[in-house]
Structure 1
Amino acid sequence: MSGNSNSLIKYPDAKIEDYENEGYEVDTAKTDLTDSSRFDIDDTKDQIFSVYLKHKTTTITNKKTVQQKISYEYDDGSKAAADNIQKLTFINQIVKDEVTGKTTNSWTPVNKTVFSEVESPKVEGYDAAQTTVPETTGINQDSSNADYIVKYSPRDEQAVIRFIDNLTGNVISEKQLSGKFGTTSSYKLADEIALIENQGYFVKSSNLPENGVVFNQDGQPLIYTVNLLPIEIIPESPSNPDPDSDTSTKTGSDLDTNEKTKLQQNEYPKVTAVKMDNLKDEVKQIIELVETKQKVVDEAVSYVHFIDQDTNKIVKTDVLPKQNGFYPIKVVAATIEKYGYQLQNNWNGIYSNSKGTQKNVNVYVAKKARSQKNAKLPIENKQGRDDFSFRDNTSENHNGLLNQFFSSAGSAVDVNHTLIPKVGGGGAGTGHEVAKILAVLAYSVNFSRR
């Protein structure tokens, strides 16, 4: 190139562009020719400039991720805990020589080349098949993704049912239940009723769940209690006086069933021969009671008492005749409910008294607060007389049965509206009125099916 002294040297752009097209680029760090270079003023020598060219390169960066996934599942495949995911990233730089066309690769990890050890999460009531997934080393860009599944199985859990004598507080027996965590036991207290009764008890209360015991307490046995009351069988001879009874003003004809029971159990003193004219009224009454005692003993040998479990008062007493029989416990229970009481045990009513050895039976009842308003049967006035009538939605079925035996052309039997006269009838009407009375009695004690 030539030019005037001190003038700018024209940079050889066209020539440089030719080299760039071949894949070169100017190495400006070594090249001494620049856009500001000028011709010198020395005509005796030529100036020499050097333009250094280097191979141009192109770099392409690629990324690759290798993953390890741990899933936690129950036996049925549902998720027990959140997945654990670890990712390792590797970068590859691809360098291409634009002159020669050759390429070079260089893989490097971004963070590390190890999947760390993972401890399986704790799930209440379940055990993991693997407590840990071990560490994995030597992971690189060519490693495959890893998937693990850790299964969780329910633990065996326990439940204890304690049967407690409610009067003494003693544990009579215990029942052990077992099952997998989260499951429900098929045990039902009703299945134990027969065994409980065989041991002389009935269930007063229980905190057992109505829908079954659910094993939902991890590592700790569930404790339930069933409170029992004894089905008391009272011997005929030992005395058990009722301090609330008052017999000082009653004669033998006025005795209630409780007093008769006490007479039978020898709870009143015997009186030796004395002169009746000199006795005070109280002594006369005692003698009348003693005389009544012998009559009661001859008529019956055993009783069934219905006792209020909260007050220990006898609310109803019936005689068990000297025979082997069946006491209509369900019918009496229904009658008791009309007076606001509910039976608290499941005595089946069977008794054996042909030899006069049946012991008195105590059956407990409890007051139903919501039944107070129905405690008394309704009283109606008809034809100037006070009459009592049973009202029962199911009585119509009984009417049909009773009318087969007790009816007249002018008046059919209706157990809901039968008039019971206070005094006996007369003439031809007597038989029909008695038939009505018998019909009502038969319905009320459920003897109509016999």
Structure 2
Amino acid sequence: MSDGSKAPDAVHDSLSYTASKVIDKVTGEVISTEWSKNQDFKDVVSPDVTGYTPDVKTVSNKNVAHDAKDIDVVVTYKAHAQKASVTYVDDKTGKTLKVDNLKGVTNAKSGYTTKAAIDTYTGLGYTLVSDDTNGKEVVFDNDDAVDQAFTVHLSHGTITVTTENPGKPGEPVDPDNPDGPKYPDGT
């Protein structure tokens, strides 16, 4: 396989030939040798592997002579193009915050995790509800018919304001995000 994954098992086959010799009875010298006729190997169809295409569909060796060298054919399977998407949803409003579209090939790592985006959203006051990737790197599958789709659900975080923990109107709710929402009047 072009990506180093396990390819189908190798196929080994052999042919047998016979020879007839004419020998001089006095000298023992071989006067002539006649080999059996050339033969054909059975065609070997490259097995289907979901998400891959072989560079040789059928290995076919015909008219092979008795003194032919060993025939070794390597079939390489090329990985198909694959797509995936990661959609970030605000569960409170039902709106899609963003969609990251990923492209790669069968069984390849994407180099993409949801960590950076989730960190950005939690920094803006969201809380993580669920992540279909479980925080792991997205790896492309071998299904050419259906693109992978992952969803990250986020909700709005809250803060409770009390007389012991008051908010100051006009100041940021999150001191680490001075441009974020401000405490309203009456807090």
Q: TM-score, normalising length from structure 1?
A: 0.34
1:119–1:108 distance in 2 versus 1, CA, 3 Å: same
1:142–1:229 distance in 2 versus 1, CA, 3 Å: same
The yes-or-no answer on 1:228 pairing with 2:53 is: no
Task: After TM superposition, give the deviation of residue 91 of structure 1 in Å.
Answer: 0.1
Match of 1:86? 13
The equivalences for 1:356-395 within 5 A come to: 358-359=183-184
Contact 2:173/2:183 (CA < 8 Å) preserved in 1?
A: no
The yes-or-no answer on 1:98 pairing with 2:25 is: yes
The equivalences for 1:51-130 within 5 A come to: 73-74=1-2, 76=4, 80-98=7-25, 103-109=31-37, 113-130=39-56
Identity of aligned residues (%): 25
1:74–1:216 distance in 2 versus 1, CA, 3 Å: same
Task: After TM superposition, give the deviation of residue 358 of structure 1 in Å.
Answer: 4.7
1:352–1:181 distance in 2 versus 1, CA, 3 Å: closer
Match of 1:320? 167
1:221–1:199 distance in 2 versus 1, CA, 3 Å: farther
Number of equivalent positions: 181
* Paired residue secondary structure (2:117): helix
* Paired residue secondary structure (1:88): coil
Note the residue ranges of structure 2 that are not aligned, 5 or more in a row: none
Question: Which residue identity lines up with residue 183 of structure 1 in the other structure?
Answer: A
1:193–1:97 distance in 2 versus 1, CA, 3 Å: closer
Task: After TM superposition, give the deviation of residue 92 of structure 1 in Å.
Answer: 0.3
The yes-or-no answer on 1:212 pairing with 2:59 is: no
1:91–1:167 distance in 2 versus 1, CA, 3 Å: same
Match of 1:350? 178
Contact 1:351/1:358 (CA < 8 Å) preserved in 2?
A: no
- Counterparts of 2:55 and 2:137, CA distance in 1: 29
Question: Which residue identity lines up with residue 359 of structure 1 in the other structure?
Answer: P
- Residues 174-215 of structure 1 deviation map (CA, whole Å, 9 limit, x = unaligned): 221222322323222221136546987442221213331122
The yes-or-no answer on 1:165 pairing with 2:90 is: yes
- Residues 285-325 of structure 1 deviation map (CA, whole Å, 9 limit, x = unaligned): xxxxxxxxxxxxxxxxxxx743xxxxxxxxx5443224546
- Residues 90-135 of structure 1 deviation map (CA, whole Å, 9 limit, x = unaligned): 10022335257564423214xx6123433222233333222233x3
1:82–1:222 distance in 2 versus 1, CA, 3 Å: same
Contact 1:203/1:227 (CA < 8 Å) preserved in 2?
A: yes
Question: Which residue identity lines up with residue 40 of structure 2 in the other structure?
Answer: V
1:141–1:190 distance in 2 versus 1, CA, 3 Å: closer
Match of 1:301? none
Note the residue ranges of structure 1 that are not aligned, 5 or more in a row: 1-72, 232-303, 307-315, 329-347, 361-450
- Counterparts of 2:94 and 2:173, CA distance in 1: 33
Question: Which residue identity lines up with residue 320 of structure 1 in the other structure?
Answer: G
- Counterparts of 2:49 and 2:132, CA distance in 1: 28
The equivalences for 1:382-421 within 5 A come to: none
The equivalences for 1:133-152 within 5 A come to: 133=59, 135-152=60-77
1:153–1:126 distance in 2 versus 1, CA, 3 Å: same
Question: Which residue identity lines up with residue 124 of structure 1 in the other structure?
Answer: T
Contact 2:86/2:100 (CA < 8 Å) preserved in 1?
A: yes
Contact 1:127/1:152 (CA < 8 Å) preserved in 2?
A: yes
1:211–1:323 distance in 2 versus 1, CA, 3 Å: closer
Contact 1:157/1:221 (CA < 8 Å) preserved in 2?
A: yes
CA RMSD of aligned residues (A): 3.6
Q: TM-score, normalising length from structure 2?
A: 0.72
1:151–1:180 distance in 2 versus 1, CA, 3 Å: same
Contact 2:107/2:140 (CA < 8 Å) preserved in 1?
A: yes
- Residues 428-449 of structure 1 deviation map (CA, whole Å, 9 limit, x = unaligned): xxxxxxxxxxxxxxxxxxxxxx
- Counterparts of 1:199 and 1:305, CA distance in 2: 13
1:83–1:227 distance in 2 versus 1, CA, 3 Å: same
1:120–1:215 distance in 2 versus 1, CA, 3 Å: same
Greater gyration radius: 1
